[in-house]
Structure 1
Amino acid sequence: MRRRPSDEAGGERRVSDLPAISLFGGAGGLDLGVERAGYRIAVALDYDRDSCATLRANFPHTPVVEGDIRAFTTKSILKAGGLARGDAALLVGGPPCTPFSKSGNWLEYKRAGRDPEASLLDHYLRVLDEARPCAFLLENVYGLAYKNHNAAWFEKLLTTCRSLGYHVVQRIILAADYGVPQRRQRVFVMGSLEREPTFPAPTHGGAHETRKEWDRSLRPHVTTGEAIGDLTPRLDLGEPEEHVNGRYGHLLPGIPPGENYLFYTDKRGHSSPLFEWRSRYWSFLLKLDPLQPSPTIQAQPGPYVGPFHWDNRRLRLAEIKRLQTFPDDYEIIGSRRSAQRQIGNAVPPFLAEQIARSLSEAA
């Protein structure tokens, strides 16, 4: 059996003379990958109390600034990290993605580009301008790169970074193509003052949506069975709310691994169809296939929103950490709901490490 990415990722974090500033750090997935790539998180900022506690628990050497970025000057952030303008080797962060996510398109003010949270992207750019790091790395939902109401924000991001003197590249990345056991797509934008950076080449290949062909010389995508199969019989990891009950819970056992509510439709040939075709979100009653990567881990799943385990239950905390490539001993502070949100919003550290390492080579 192949080694899990959570086993392979980077190994030890070491003291580095390459200081980095982290904004919107969340649970620290991006930060962990950055440190494994050779940087040192000199200061981290986030507004969420539990996320800040998680950062302090796992990055004891890092000053954590807790609060809304709009209330902090760049000078105060730099001071907390013992830095001056131009000292930082890297600025990293993922401004809250809700304004750019396709899940919010039903809200008129989001479609019109009037979400006030979108202004947080401006504050990332403000810190980039005033802190003047050698390089930067930004992650967000790939909807930010859509040619819709998000187009103006994305163009502003790229134009502003280039006007500040950075060589900028962007790419929508499928995490599974880099050894993460999850078909998670996100847009990454990175830039360097020295030269144009390049994204790392994919290490794995496999089917995804309409993709029929890929480089067969690459390793196959890491599957959920490889990532969490050894945790399945662990009774000590069981959680009180892992059972799926209520109106639709009894339907889950009938759905084959890798499928969702569409199994119970006339178009799929079900003898007693219960749902109209494409009448629900894709993730409704979605079940993991142990022979495939996981779909995207949700930050705030509803009662019938998957992915669910192939054993017809909700995923346990230890399992979602693995699917996001966090180490087993990584401590998440807060309630179970808070932990789900923190991990679901995080950048997989194994992916972050590979991208940050390629960026360091351009500095």
Structure 2
Amino acid sequence: MLDFCRRPVAVDLFAGAGGFSLGIEQAGFDVAVAVEVDPIHAATHAYNFPHTKVLCADARKLSGKAIKEAAIQASGEIDLVIGGPPCQGFSLMGKRCLEDERNDLVFEFCRLVVELQPRYFVMENVPGIAQKEHAIYLDLINSELEAAGYCITQPVKVLKTAEFGVPQNRKRLILLGSRAGERQLEYPKPLIPNPQSVFTTVRDAIADLPNLDDFPELLTSDEVLLERRQLKKMRSLASLYAQQLMEASPDLNNFAYRRLSCGNLLTGSLRTQHSTTSIERFQKTLPGELESVSRFRRLHWDKLSHTLRAGTGSGGGRYTSPRPIHPDYHRVISVREAARLHSFPDWFRFHTTKWHGFRQIGNSVPPLLARAVGRQVIASLGIIPPKPKEPIELGNTQLLRFNPWEAARYWSVSSQGIVKLES
């Protein structure tokens, strides 16, 4: 029998800026609690999800009891636990390491699932966790959770984000678990059966966005108010995909709370100033090709973006991952353009610095992928969630401007080693 009366409750572990949280909310869940160790990312999550209790804490030092106490609206029952434990130790990109301390965080996810006893859980990770010497980790995870009374949906699958409407060539392993006595979860079927011929393109995602070089204020700020004519031009160029991210076209499958935001404010658009020699090299780089010096790849209007990566944190030397070159302009893409390629709506804001902004996107689960998985959980729960009628206010924009020490003070945590365990 279907339940029309409630929105189920979710908890997001290793929440980052909130890509997984957003997609799950769009599926119809209320995200009661989000756990994130990095104060900068926790502040960004708090800005975008003012209705969620954010715990800026190390998951290794957090108990399920503490999370349950924070989830006061859950009334003792948590329907879903989600999370993407940091994964660089498993990554196929760069050096893989069995001894990487981040590998152990997948077992902290398991521990908290066992302590919280949700009806369902979804864990996201890189495909490398299921390959070669790292496959032992996946076997151990399965054994630990099955021993705790959870049925793991088999075979474990790697999902392609392009098959769910994301204009990016990105693959993620998704682990689905159902508590004993619950209807077993199934993987979502692709919304786009053949992404090789029919998919959301780079053009669909960013062609309507204006040329940042036309706005001198974006040299010092990540936001600018667009004039009515500029906004009208954007909407005339926007694909259905872009219109839905702009909230200029209805999205019937979106059950998220509407955020009150300024519709003509372009955010996440701080300009990158390149040297003359870099610009000359970018000019010579053809769409889809790699620029040999910077190792930046130029996007192709009519294809998918390659995988957007986060780079490394301070523990790895604050390395910025190569950013794509715009298909037309001789510069790297902006944070907002990267957010469009990741399926974030335009109201969703990131830290005002490009370094943190790109890291937050690269570490996120694309919301459209998370939504597709979340809808499967909704179906297994037998719920048709109500669409929220009242919009909610976003948080204080100061949350997006903190430096690491200010963010640590805000959350009353230590600033030491803030980003060492990021994914």
Q: TM (normalized to structure 2)?
A: 0.69
Aligned equivalent of 1:296: 307
1:331 correspondence with 2:346: no
User: Does residue 200 in structure 1 map to residue 188 in structure 2?
Assistant: yes
Q: Does 1:320 align with 2:331?
A: no
Deviation at 1:285, TM superposition (A): 2.6
Q: Describe the shift of the 1:290–1:184 C-alpha distance in structure 2 as closer, same or farther (beyond 3 A).
A: same
2:284 is equivalent to residue 254 of structure 1: yes
- Alpha-carbon distance in structure 1 between the residues aligned to 2:274 and 2:281: 10
Question: After superposition, where does 1:88-127 map in structure 2 within 5 Å?
Answer: 88-105=78-95, 110-111=96-97, 113-127=98-112
Equivalent pairs counted in the alignment come to 315
Q: Determine helix, strand or coil for the equivalent of 2:362.
A: helix
Residue 75 (structure 1) aligned with residue 65 (structure 2) = yes
Q: Secondary structure at the match of 2:93?
A: helix
SS in 2 for 1:307: coil
Q: 1:195: how far off?
A: 2.9
* Distance of 2:128 and 2:141 partners within structure 1: 14
Select which of 303, 308, 333 maps to 2:325. Answer: 308
Q: What residue identity is the alignment partner of 1:43?
A: V
Aligned residue identity for 1:352: A
- Residue of structure 1 in register with 2:175 after alignment: 189
Question: Deviation per CA, 1:63-107, whole angstroms, max 9, x where unpaired?
Answer: 1100211121111111111278961000000001111112342xx
1:300 Cα deviation from its structure 2 partner: 2.3
Q: Secondary structure at the match of 1:295?
A: coil
For the 8 Å contact 1:197–1:359, the answer to whether it is kept is: yes
CA contact (8 A) 1:20 1:92 kept: yes
Aligned to 1:10: none
Pairing 1:191-230 to 2, within 5 Å after superposition: 191-193=177-179, 194-206=182-194, 220-230=198-208
Compare relative contact order (CA 8 Å, sep 6+) and give the higher one, 1 or 2.
2
Task: Give ranges in structure 2 of 5+ residues lacking alignment.
Answer: 220-268, 313-318, 382-423
Residue 233 of structure 1 and its aligned partner are, at CA, apart by 3.0
Deviation at 1:319, TM superposition (A): 0.5
> What CA distance in whole angstroms lies between the structure 2 residues aligned with 1:206 and 1:38?
27
Partner in structure 1 of residue 116 of structure 2: 131
**Paired position in structure 1 for 2:386:** none
Helix, strand or coil at the partner of 2:60: helix
**What's 1:271 paired with?**
none
Aligned 8 A contact 1:44 1:65 in 2: yes
Distance in structure 2 (CA, Å) of the matches to 1:204 and 1:117: 34
Provide the secondary structure at the position in 2 that maps to 1:121: helix
Say if 1:167 and 1:191, in contact at 8 Å, map to a contact too: yes
> Are the structure 2 counterparts of residues 244 and 205 from structure 1 closer, same or farther at C-alpha, using a change threshold of 3 Å?
farther
Please, which of 214, 224, 231 is the counterpart of residue 209 of structure 2?
Answer: 231
Conserved 8 A contact 2:310-2:361: yes
Q: Give distance in 2, aligned partners of 1:78 and 1:334.
A: 32
Q: How does 1:146-185 map to 2 (within 5 A)?
A: 146-148=131-133, 150-169=134-153, 170-185=156-171
The letter for the 1-side match of 2:24 is: V
Decide whether aligned partners of structure 1 residues 325 and 297 sit closer, same or farther in structure 2, where only a CA change above 3 A counts.
same
Q: Which residue identity does 2:201 align to in structure 1?
A: T
Supply the AA of the counterpart residue of 1:54.
T
Does the residue aligned with 1:55 lie in a helix, a strand or coil?
helix
Amino acid at match of 1:347: V
Q: In 1, Cα distance between the equivalents of 2:276 and 2:363?
A: 27
Specify whether residues 69 and 331 from structure 1 end up closer, same or farther in structure 2 by C-alpha distance, changes over 3 A only. same
CA pair 77-303 structure 1, distance change in 2 beyond 3 A: closer
Identity %: 32
**TM superposition shift of 1:240:** 5.9
Aligned equivalents of 2:75, 2:146: Cα separation in 1: 19
| 1:360 equivalent among 368, 374, 378 | 378
Q: Aligned in 2, Cα 1:361/1:84: closer, same or farther, shift over 3 Å? A: closer
The whole-number CA distance in structure 2 between the counterparts of 1:120 and 1:333 is 25
Cα contact 2:270–2:334 (8 A) shared by 1: no
Q: CA deviation at 1:19?
A: 1.1
How far apart are the structure 2 equivalents of 1:187 and 1:304? 21
Q: Give the root-mean-square deviation of aligned CA atoms.
A: 2.6
* Residues 141 and 244 of structure 1: CA distance in aligned 2, closer, same or farther (over 3 Å): farther
* Letter aligned with residue 346 of structure 1: S
What CA deviation, in whole Å up to 9, does each residue of 1:190-219 have, x standing for no partner? Answer: 1112132111111225566xxxxxxx7xxx
Deviations 1:134-189 (A, max 9, x none): 000111111111122x1111111122222222221221111011110111111111
Contact 2:37 2:59 (8 Å CA) reproduced: yes
- Please give the secondary structure, in 2, of the residue aligned with 1:230: coil
Partner of 1:35: 25
